[in-house]
Amino acid sequence: MGAAKSNAVDLPSSTVDVLLSELREECERVAALIQRLENRPDSTKEKDELFGELSAAVLHLHTHTAGLDEFLCEAE
């Protein structure tokens, strides 16, 4: 086996910083929603709303992270 080929691309560090910041913010949002659910919402309506927000946040994370591993490898 040969050495791994490097496909490094010079990306502006601000682009990486923005992407990582957005990812961190959304992960914090997911963690906060989970914590609110763990604290047993007062009503079924509140619980349903939290599950809806969590579902949307997870979908956003899924979309936001598509190809992120390759992007970060290229940004190294």
Per-residue pLDDT of the chain in tens (76 residues, 90 and over written 9): 444 444 444 556 788 888 889 999 999 999 999 999 999 999 999 999 999 999 999 999 998 888 888 877 877 6
Distance CA 34, CA 51 (A): 9
User: How crowded is residue 8: how many other Cβ atoms within 10 Å of its Cβ?
Assistant: 9
Distance CA 66, CA 44 (A): 33
Query: Which SS3 state, helix, strand or coil, does residue 44 take?
Result: helix
The answer for 50, left when phi > 0, alpha when psi is -120 to 50, beta otherwise, is: alpha
CB 10 within 8 A of CB 38: no
Distance CA 18, CA 15 (A): 5
pTM, two decimal places:
0.72
